Amino acid sequence: VNKKYPWTTELHFQRQPSERCEKANFTSCPDNRCLVKAILYFYGRLTGKDLVELKWPDGVKLTDADCVKYLINLMGDMAQPMHFGTAETDMGRNITVLFRGKTTNLYDARPS
């Protein structure tokens, strides 16, 4: 779905403040374009409740099937720790690690 709609990539992440080691922060979400707000949006669309407003580019029409696909995918993202990273580390992409003898970044080295 991200290849068809590349501007939806940010919906899969919930950026966290840097230098903070506490519970997840859900308050920072510009234009409701983050993981938790996206889940609320698609859930609301499927249940007929207007929970969160999320603007789409002109001409984009999502079906109920599209909403179910997004909701399933986003719920899976909730279990991925790197989807709750900081902007400074680009969710771990700016942290270099050696994984199985290969230099990569922390985001790509995580188990999928």
pLDDT in tens, 17-70: 776 666 766 777 888 999 999 999 999 999 999 999 998 888 888 899 999 999
Q: pTM of the entire structure?
A: 0.79
> Do 13 and 91 meet the contact criterion of CB atoms below 8 Å apart?
yes
d(CA 84, CA 10): 12
**Per-residue CA distances from 111 to 15, 49, 78, 96 (Å):** 20, 35, 14, 16
Structural domain boundaries in the chain: 6-87
